[in-house]
Amino acid sequence: MLKRFNILLIEPSDLIADGFTALLEESGNFVISNRLSSIAEFNKKEHSGTDLTIVDTIALKFDQYSEVRSIIPSETSSHIVALITTLPNNKRLHLFDSYFSIWDNRKEIIEKLLLLFNNEDTPDNKTIEDRNALSQREKEVLVAVAAGLTNKEIADKLHLSIHTVTTHRKNISRKTGINSISGLTVYAIINKLVDLHDL
Amino acid sequence: MISSSSRLADVINQTPCILSVIDRLNIRLGFHDATIRDICNRYGFSVELLTSIFNIYAHNGYEPQIDALSKQDILKLVKYLQTSHRYYSKKSFPKLHRKIHLLLKKGDASNAQILHKFYDDYSEELAHHFLFEETTVFPYVKRLLSNTVKVESRFDIYSFAQNHTNIEEKLSDLKNILLKYLPEDYPSALRIDLLNNIYAIEQDLARHTIIEDKMLIPAIIRLETISGRK
């Protein structure tokens, strides 16, 4: 996990840009390789090889939300994430791969960004079965759910934020087709992830 | 859309699951070419009540017109829902349970143990939900109809609707476990029979829930407004 992801930051405020740069670089996973004050400064050639573009929604005009993917093509930057510093246009946030707000804490921000790179394998070269297989982390969460732990307890035990635990749980249910806690317990036992006597 | 002039035989041929509905409405087979209106006259239902129930079963996304329901209809609706509960708890689910038992005998003991526990918890939840409707919801509707409700006897109809979601969720989990995750060595014929059974119950319960959520609950809210309670 020591690969460092290159970030292009589009942020008009120096204060936010500098604070954000410090916060991300401290995590060791990210490097801010470029910072622009407006989206007009973006240049496909100059900024190619970016892993992740983070755009402050304040730098986007209303009609630019829907064009953000054509302005910043995926060849240049594989992910685009919205940074929310003002009241955003919520209806348009789904156009981004993810989003976070200046009110999110350090842990939440880093985890949201890392989640983007968790399933890096492109869907095309994986079978549906592979894609639906639980990741190691998801298995750990599942075992904890089966043991009857609450989201808060799971977060503490696995050193995750509650938000990330919820995301894992949603993914587990989406992948397995099982939603209830008791159903997930049955799944964990049938698949021998836990032993009945350990519960 | 099913209307007063539809023939009951056509309705059932097109939507066979209505067969168990007419059983619960106490409508006897052997009705020749009777239309819905004929049946209503014979058994004392209003056309609005019967077509609403049938259309919920026959058409996904159908929105029943509850404004057309009289107090008499709401009483009959409650009676139908009570009969349905008896049908589920005395017939459908015990049958399902017997089949699960037969299937689980054929495999791993710890799988059997955990699945029996899952099913027992589910039955208990279901029984609890039905009991709540029998002892709280239905009597409340009857008191509303006869104008004898006390303010403190109100209950939260919204948590009631949430309960429905939980019940459907568990049945769907059970279905996926039996379909996808129980190992291959269980006998297929038993397993398929059991799954067909679950699909039928799932469909029936989903429609039953729509009847409660889209007919009974709006009827309760309307009655509450009329009696100046909300």
* Percentage with pLDDT > 90 across chain A: 37
Q: How far is B61 from chain A (nearest CA, A)?
A: 23
Q: Which of B158, B126, B26, B132 is nearest to B79 (CA)?
A: B26
Closest to A179 (Cβ–Cβ): which among B169, B181, B182? Answer: B169
Per-residue model confidence (pLDDT) at position A129? 67
Helix (H) or strand (E) holding A22: helix A14-27
Give a yes or no: residue B210 inside a domain: yes
**Residues A56, A85: Cα–Cα separation, whole Å:** 7
Per-residue model confidence (pLDDT) at position A124? 52
- Residue pair A176/A139 in contact (Cβ under 8 Å)? The answer is no
Describe the strand order of the beta sheet including A50-56 as a list of residue ranges.
A30-36, A5-10, A50-56, A77-84, A98-101
Q: Is the dihedral of CA A75, A79, A84, A85 positive or negative?
A: negative
Chain B CB contacts of A195 below 8 Å:
110
Instruction: Residue A188: count other Cβ atoms within 10 Å of its Cβ.
Output: 24
In this complex, do A180 and B173 lie within 8 Å of one another by their Cβ atoms?
yes
Chain A CB contacts of B176 below 8 Å:
176-178, 183
Choose one of A57, A84, A118: the last residue of a domain. A118
Burial code (b: 16+ CB inside 10 Å, e: under 16) for B181-220 equals bbeeebeeebbeebbebbeebeebbbbbbbbbebbbbbbb
Least confident of A29-38, A61-70, A145-154, B63-72: A61-70
Give a yes or no: residue B21 inside a domain: yes
- Domain span at residue B30 reads 8-58
- Residue pair B223/B141 in contact (Cβ under 8 Å)? The answer is yes
In this complex, do A185 and B114 lie within 8 Å of one another by their Cβ atoms?
yes
pLDDT (tens digit, 0 to 9) for every residue of chain B, 230 residues total? 999 999 999 999 999 999 999 999 999 999 999 999 999 999 999 999 999 999 999 999 899 988 889 999 999 999 999 999 999 999 999 999 999 999 999 999 999 999 999 999 999 999 998 998 899 889 988 888 887 776 656 666 666 666 777 788 999 999 999 999 999 999 999 999 999 999 999 999 999 999 998 999 888 888 888 776 55
Query: If DSSP codes are grouped into helix, strand and coil, which group holds residue B7?
Result: strand
Give a yes or no: residue B31 inside a domain: yes
| CATH number of the domain residue A175 falls in | 1.10.10.10
Give a yes or no: residue B2 inside a domain: no
Length of chain A, please? 199
Q: A45 or A147, which is more confident?
A: A147
Give a yes or no: residue B76 inside a domain: yes
Identify from B115, B172, B177 which residue to disrupt to test chain A contact, counting A C-beta atoms within 10 A and taking the largest count.
Answer: B177
Q: Are residues A190 and A164 in the same domain?
A: yes
Nearest CA in chain B to A173: B173
Q: Are residues B161 and B193 in the same domain?
A: yes
Q: Are residues B159 and B204 in the same domain?
A: yes
Chain A CB contacts of B168 below 8 Å:
none
Least confident of A27-31, A85-89, A170-174, B58-62: A85-89
Q: Are residues A109 and A160 in the same domain?
A: no
Closest to B118 (Cβ–Cβ): which among A179, A183, A195? Answer: A183
Chain B CB contacts of A173 below 8 Å:
none
Give a yes or no: residue B105 inside a domain: yes
Query: If DSSP codes are grouped into helix, strand and coil, which group holds residue A169?
Result: helix
**Residues B135, A147: Cα–Cα separation, whole Å:** 34
Q: Are residues A59 and A112 in the same domain?
A: yes
Tell me the pLDDT tens digit for each residue of A57-99. Answer: 888 887 787 788 888 887 788 889 999 888 766 767 777 888 8
Half-sphere exposure in the Cβ direction for B191 (13 Å, CA):
19
Single-letter code of the amino acid located at B145: L
Closest to A196 (Cβ–Cβ): which among B114, B122, B173? Answer: B114
Q: Is the dihedral of CA B168, B173, B179, B180 positive or negative?
A: positive
Q: Are residues A13 and A51 in the same domain?
A: yes
Q: Give the total number of structural domains in chain A.
A: 2
Per-residue model confidence (pLDDT) at position B152? 58
Helix (H) or strand (E) holding A190: helix A181-190
**Residues A98, B8: Cα–Cα separation, whole Å:** 53
Residues in Cβ contact with B2 at an 8 Å cutoff, skipping those fewer than 6 apart: B11, B36, B51, B54, B55, B58
Give a yes or no: residue B1 inside a domain: no
| CATH number of the domain residue A111 falls in | 3.40.50.2300
Instruction: Residue A97: count other Cβ atoms within 10 Å of its Cβ.
Output: 19
In this complex, do B114 and A190 lie within 8 Å of one another by their Cβ atoms?
yes
**Residues A96, B158: Cα–Cα separation, whole Å:** 34
Choose one of A118, A141, A162: the last residue of a domain. A118
- Domain span at residue A185 reads 123-198
* Residue A155 burial (C-beta neighbours within 10 Å; 0-12, 13-18, 19+): buried
Q: Are residues A35 and A21 in the same domain?
A: yes
Closest to A183 (Cβ–Cβ): which among B110, B113, B170? Answer: B170
**Residues B180, B170: Cα–Cα separation, whole Å:** 15
* Helices B157-176, A181-190: inter-axial angle, 10-degree rounding: 10
Query: If DSSP codes are grouped into helix, strand and coil, which group holds residue A139?
Result: helix
Alpha helices in chain B (DSSP H): 8-14, 18-24, 36-43, 47-58, 71-87, 93-104, 109-132, 138-145, 157-176, 188-210, 217-226
Per-residue confidence band for A1, with pLDDT thresholds at 50, 70 and 90: very low
Per-residue confidence band for A48, with pLDDT thresholds at 50, 70 and 90: confident
Q: Which residues of B touch A (CB under 8 A)?
A: 110-111, 113-115, 117-118, 121-122, 166, 169-170, 172-174, 176-177, 180-183
Q: Are residues A51 and A79 in the same domain?
A: yes
Q: Are residues B46 and B111 in the same domain?
A: no
